[in-house]
Every structure is written in C-alpha cells, then in structure tokens.
Amino acid sequence: MTQDQGGTAARTLSGIRAGLERVEPLETYGRVVAIRGLLVEVAGPVAAMRLGGRLDVEGAGSAGLIPCEIIGFQGDRALAMPFGSLEGVRRGCPA
C-alpha cells in the first residue's frame, strides 16, 4: 500500500465513522395489553425482543418510565417483570 492509498483509506474510515455516529439507535415500540399481578404482557414487535432483554413501560401521568426485564413469551406477547412499582401503568401504555 502506498502512502497515498493509506491516506485515502484513513479518510474513508473517518467518513464512515462520522456517518455511524449520526445514526440513531433502533427503537421499537409495543403496548401493554395486560397486567397480572407483577407480570406485564406486551404486544408488539416480539421478534425484535429477546429473553433477558430490557424494555421500559411508560406509565400514565407522572409515573415516568418503569424498567422491565423480559422473562418469557406467550404467543405473540412478551412477558416482563418490572424493576419498580407499576403504579400508573394500564392497558395501552407504550412499552
């Protein structure tokens, strides 16, 4: 590789890196369809979810985001356990 080729490669990699830094992370959304005790059932892009993965449930009002862990799947729904209170969460809340 000549000096010029090395410089061109470095500029190309620099441009690629800059482009990747502008890409926003993928965010997918589902909805709470049921709550059974502490178990939250989420319908949505289940194929994009994985066992042990994390999701946030958006509670109504001032409840804010409640972090949850996906502990299983049932049909086309993900089953999640919250790391905090489910106060303010109801059917239809974004997850």
Rounded CA-CA distance 7/64 in Å is: 49
Q: Show the domain range for 49.
A: 31-82
Q: Give residues with Cβ within 8 angstroms of 87, minimum separation 6.
A: 59, 63
**For residue 61, what is the domain's CATH number?**
2.40.10
In a domain? residue 13: no
In a domain? residue 11: no
In a domain? residue 7: no
pLDDT of 10 higher than 80: no
The whole-model pTM stands at 0.69
List C-alpha distances in Å: 29 to 12, 32, 44, 55, 64. Answer: 35, 10, 6, 9, 16
In a domain? residue 70: yes
In a domain? residue 22: no
Beta strands in the chain (DSSP E): 31-36, 39-43, 54-58, 65-74, 77-82
In a domain? residue 66: yes
Q: Token pair of 61, please? A: 């009002």
In a domain? residue 73: yes
Our count of domains for the chain comes to: 1
Read off the pLDDT of residues 32-71 as tens digits, 9 standing for 90 and up: 999 999 999 999 988 888 999 999 999 887 668 999 999 9
